[in-house]
Structure 1
Amino acid sequence: MYVAVKGGERAIDNAHAWLAEERRGDPAVPDLGMDQIREQLRLAVNRVMAEGSLYDPDLAALAIKQARGDLIEAVFLIRAWRTTLPRLGASVPVETAGMAVDRRISATFKDLPGGQVLGPTFDYTHRLLDFALAAEGLPPPAPTAPATPGPVPHVMGFLNRDGLIEPAAGDEGAPPDLTRTPLELPACRALRLQALARGDEGFILSLAYSTQRGYGRTHAFVGELRIGRVAVEVEIPELGFAVEIGEVELTECETVNQFTGSRSEPPQFTRGYGLVFGQSERKAIAMSLVDRALRWKELGEDYTGAPAQDEEFVLAHCDNIQATGFLEHIKLPHYVDFQAELELIRRLRAEAAQVQAQEAAE
């Protein structure tokens, strides 16, 4: 047994060395710097920060480099690092109406105070490979226009002014922290939104797509999608007021959904909400659609059996780290379990062969 353990350790050490060699790639090719990943692969960095629940572009870039571009592995690394950090305090809720927006669009109103800001997006580009990007020594791009200064009012305020949309949720106190306490079902909306924000983008996207195809009956309009930077403030007890300690980039999406009304509520529009670290608009839109689908009970709607309406199904399976751990654990040794299964199959086959022999003899 001791020899087997030592042999296993040597094999693992060799695997680590091989991994480091593969990570570096051809030594003749310049090493990829963290600053290059942070600045030129920003959308990947944003996804790792969002699903890792840690806003730190430098650490996210390091995780992507260490994981060889495997974003789920990078998220795992960020979450593991996050658990080692001391918790010094809690910030006050950010005010997204004061966002300095880089991108702000609405599919419901053409003319908005502050205007439609197209911003940096693939929406208006041709999906053709740009071979100019493969050329070396390209001149830097021209400077972009500065972000629109805040505050920029939310589009939902126009509908709320006439009572055509459900009012925004009131202050329900400090929400529970999903990173510190296990998820319990049924979950409040604040916990659901945390789980969706940390959830795998592909999984949330598929669920959102299913609602658009009829599995959840949510026909949504993008009331507003905005991307920009907001100030982060922390209240200092000794001072008696909040102090700005930095800023973060966020993507916020509010969808407008149909609602036929109930016995207590008149027909009106309802809301779906998504908020994600960085520029992650696909995730934010998908999150808002799934959020609305999960609200069927509180809105008095019928449960149609759609996956996006099933809170336990959505929240228990959207976390890619939990899913990866459970999936990949089957790679670990299961020798004893398999031998038991193998012995069972052999015994059953022997019994079946014996029965067949008896029937043939009769």
Structure 2
Amino acid sequence: MYVAVKGGEKAIDAAHAWLAEERRGDTSVAELSIAQIREQLALAVNRVMAEGSLYDPDLAALAIKQARGDLIEAIFLIRAYRTTLPRFGATLPVETAEMACDRRISATFKDAPGGQVLGPTFDYTHRLLDFKLAAEGEAPVAPTREASQEATPHITTFLKQEGVIQTEVDQGDTPRDLTREPLELPADRALRLQSLTRGDEGFVLGMAYSTQRGYARNHAFVGELRIGTCAVEMEIPELGFAIEVGELELTECETVNQFTGSKTEPPQFTRGYGLVFGQSERKSISMALVDRALRWEELGEDNMGAPARDAEFVLYHADNIQATGFLEHIKLPHYVDFQSELELVRKLRAEAEENLASAAANTVPEAAE
């Protein structure tokens, strides 16, 4: 006998109180501050800002604290808060070529024009636990270096001058805003990039990895990966010119992909592109690989049945908030639905047993030889 649970409101209130207690943890241990999370868990903060579509390190740190470190829950909180904010206008496109770079590397040219800067990276660490951190000692002082304030041209600019990479023309159109209107297919490249930049990092990584393993034959080089600060400008009608309204830390990746040509395009290199809030290298590279895979149709390539080339599959499943909502709703009460399913299974079993019994009764034993 299945019955509905009673006393739901009291149970929910108690669950909330218990959650708050668990969130705080042992009160003899100092409570985490928002500043500590923002400064010492910066990569988690960056992910929440990117997938929450809101650049605010303090709010992202608060969301992480409230969510007990569950980043998808924190992203959900940020997106919900974002819907309450008024929109005053639109900024101009950021000029990433003018980025003040903290890190800038290329896997295609050793002597990249403008130089290579390793910056703060895990790439050359030994992946061994550092027990000095458990002792809570002071961090070593890094050599002093200011980010370059000079414009650093993109690597692809030099390939373009040689005419060996596809020319991409800015049509000047204002892209649709995925944060204000639902995703609709077919989606142009601008909308696909929006979906990927706020898509779940693990999902986008998995799709990118699939292209490298042969599901799209997407052999790519990192033409350039750069991390740094870009000025954000906005045109003020009353002034008649643009002014700087803030700065963003961004990670940008451009991949260079071999392309043997098609019926519509000559042999040349093509590009994949990724741009993400904060320091998010894995996400930006993954995004660039998937972006290139999704361009198969405009380049006249074969679909090959590759998952990463199926725009509907990729874009409709990249959003972790939608995925979480649909996944987790099945743990909520479904008593009526289950009762109907239970009655149906009982009826089918009864009919099956009745048919078996009838078949057995009508079976004539074979005569013994």
2:319 alignment counterpart: 319
| Alpha-carbon contact 1:97-1:150 (below 8 Å) kept | no
SS, match of residue 274 in structure 1: strand
C-alpha contact (below 8 Å) 1:251/1:278 kept by paired residues: yes
SS of 2:268's equivalent?
A: coil
Aligned residue number for residue 248 of structure 1: 248
| Residue of structure 2 in register with 1:141 after alignment | 141
Task: Verify the 8 A CA contact 1:197 1:276 in the aligned structure 2.
Answer: yes
Cα offset for 1:311?
Answer: 0.3
Match of 1:225 in 2: 225
Displacement of 1:112 in angstroms is 1.7
Please give the alpha-carbon distance, in whole angstroms, between the structure 2 residues aligned to 1:272 and 1:142.
Answer: 33
Unaligned runs of 5+ in 1: none
For 1:72, the aligned partner's letter is I
Give the Cα–Cα distance (whole angstroms) in 1 for the partners of residues 169 and 193 of structure 2: 13
| SS of residue matched to 1:85 | coil
Partner of 2:285: 285
- 2:203 corresponding residue in structure 1: 203
Matches of 1:105 and 1:311 in 2, distance apart?
30
Equivalent in the alignment of 2:106? 106
Q: Distance in 2 between matches of 1:136 and 1:47?
A: 25
What amino acid maps onto 2:234 in structure 1? V
Asked whether the equivalents of residues 263 and 300 of structure 2 are also in contact (C-alpha less than 8 Å), the reply is: no
Contact 2:205 / 2:282 at 8 angstroms: preserved in 1? yes
For residues 170-211 of structure 1, what are the alpha-carbon distances to aligned partners after superposition, in whole Å with 9 as ceiling and x for unaligned? 233111100111111010000000000000000000000000
Aligned to 2:56: 56
SS state at 1:269 partner: strand
Question: What residue identity is the alignment partner of 1:116?
Answer: Q
What code does the residue aligned with 1:138 have?
E
Structure 1 counterpart of 2:152, one-letter code: V
Q: Does structure 2 retain, via aligned residues, the 8 Å contact 1:106–1:116?
A: yes
Counterpart residue identity of residue 196, structure 2: L
The residue number in structure 2 matching 1:171 is: 171
1:82 aligned partner? 82
The Cα of 1:150 is off from its aligned counterpart by 2.9
DSSP 3-state at the match of 1:68 = coil
Deviation at 1:136, TM superposition (A): 2.7
Q: Which residue of 1 aligns with 2:180?
A: 180
Q: What is the total number of aligned residue pairs between the two structures?
A: 359
Q: Distance in 2 between matches of 1:235 and 1:157?
A: 27
Please tell me whether Structure 1 or Structure 2 has the larger radius of gyration of its CA atoms.
2
Q: Counterpart of 1:118 in 2: which secondary structure?
A: coil
Question: Equivalent residue for 2:127?
Answer: 127
Q: Is the 8 A contact 2:262 2:300 kept in 1?
A: yes
The residue that corresponds to 2:157 in the other structure is: 157
Counting aligned pairs with the same residue, the percent is 77
State the 1:71 CA deviation: 0.2
Task: Indicate conservation of the 8 Å contact 1:207/1:308, yes or no.
Answer: yes
Q: Distance in 2 between matches of 1:98 and 1:64?
A: 32
Shift of 1:142: 3.7
Question: Does the residue aligned with 2:330 lie in a helix, a strand or coil?
Answer: helix
- Separation (CA, whole Å) in 1 of partners of 2:6 and 2:80: 27
Task: Determine the C-alpha separation between the residues in 2 that align with 1:100 and 1:150.
Answer: 7
Distance in 2, Cα, partners of 1:356 & 1:140: 78
CA RMSD of aligned residues (A): 1.2
- Following superposition, the deviation at residue 139 of structure 1 comes to 5.2
What is the alpha-carbon distance in structure 2 between the residues aligned to residue 54 and residue 156 of structure 1? Answer: 29
Q: Distance in 2 between matches of 1:336 and 1:290?
A: 42
| AA aligned opposite 2:50 | A
Aligned to 1:44: 44
Q: Report SS of the residue matched to 2:31.
A: coil
Shift of 1:283: 0.2
Q: Which residue of 2 aligns with 1:215?
A: 215
Give the Cα separation in 1 of the matches to 2:247 and 2:62. 21
What residue is the counterpart of 1:295 in the other structure? 295
Distance 1:222 1:27 in 2: 47
Work out the CA distance in 2 between the residues paired with 1:189 and 1:332: 37
Query: Does 326-335 or 133-142 show the bigger shift?
Result: 133-142
- 8 Å Cα contact 1:101/1:150 also seen in 2: no
Q: CA deviation at 1:146?
A: 1.3
Give the equivalent residue in structure 2 for 1:192. Answer: 192
Name the amino acid aligned to 1:257: N
Per the TM alignment, residue 143 of structure 1 is displaced from its structure 2 partner at its CA by 5.4
Change (3 A) 1:348 1:144: farther
Q: Is the 8 A contact 1:227 1:252 kept in 2?
A: yes
Secondary structure of 1:258's counterpart equals: strand
**Does the 8 Å CA contact 2:265/2:300 hold for their aligned counterparts?**
no
